[in-house]
Amino acid sequence: MSKTALLFAGQGAQTVGMGKDLAEQFPAAKKWFDRANAALGYDLAAICFAGPEAELTKTENAQPGIFLAGWVAFELLRERAPALRFEATAGLSLGEFTALAAAGALSFEDGLKLVRQRGRFMQEACEATRGGMAAIIGLDEGLTREVCAAAGVELANLNCPGQLVISGATEKIGQACELAKAKGAKRALPLPVAGAYHSALMAGAKPGLQEALARVRLAAPAVPVISNVTAQPHGAEAEIQARLVDQVTSSVRWEESMRYLLAQGFTRFIELGPGKALSGFMKRIDPNAQMLNVGDVASLEATVKAVL
């Protein structure tokens, strides 16, 4: 029997209008947006639906906004396809919080408030350092690690074959891009981000996140949730807390996480939330895997039809 994993988007997937048609068509979706506004004390729904883009892109809004959009997609899928069973969850960076909430390890309100705080702590770390990131296309991991060592930057995201992301001080990112091209990268593109996510330059965000997590009740997940840091299922509650703090400065081992699930017999993956980046990664990791997504009304209907 085929096994299903739910995947949740990370930062960068945000887009003005996300969740709007779902909230307009489904009362249950509007209820979750209203609950989010009440929990946070400001109108996050309006920023998701109407922007402006500069406001939505702010880390402290983008992170809870993507968490919320992913959660709404998850709840609507459960409502429309109640017979659907999922046996694992995973999320890219901040998406790991949504994955934990979907697996029952974290309440909706706690997860939402945590990612809002996480976004603020990360924004403060960005402002205290001069960092950036770049996508390295068409270079293998070994050569990219050589580039990182030579330029003094770090490997931040191992997304899929041929697509890696590096992170570090702004002036070193430029140097690393030139080195990557010299080693045969098809492209080496600086990314429009606020700072050096998933690198040592984010260390300033860790104490605040650790304190915030200590105030939240975590439970054992009902299904395995794959950790970005280890590419293995999370363990007990204390380990979940530690891994979520480590994640801020650690590499996101996404390809390895997906290969772990594939090796466990997972054949169907449903991406929940804005964008289709995770679907694109899976095509490069295993083109035979069934990939579905829920981000708006049309994709919800298509996915419900596919799983019934």
Determine which one of 107, 167, 198, 251 is catalytic: 198
Active site residue 198: yes
Active site residue 234: no
Residue 228 phi, psi (nearest 5)? -60, -35
Rounded CA-CA distance 63/87 in Å is: 25
User: Of the candidates 153, 136, 197, which has an alpha carbon nearest to the alpha carbon of residue 10?
Assistant: 197
DSSP letter assigned to residue 41: T
Tokens of 77: 């899928």
- Environment class of residue 264 by beta-carbon count within 10 Å: exposed (0-12), middle (13-18) or buried (19+)? middle
Residue type, 230: T
β-pairing, 187-190 vs 131-137, is antiparallel
Q: Residues with catalytic annotation?
A: 93, 198
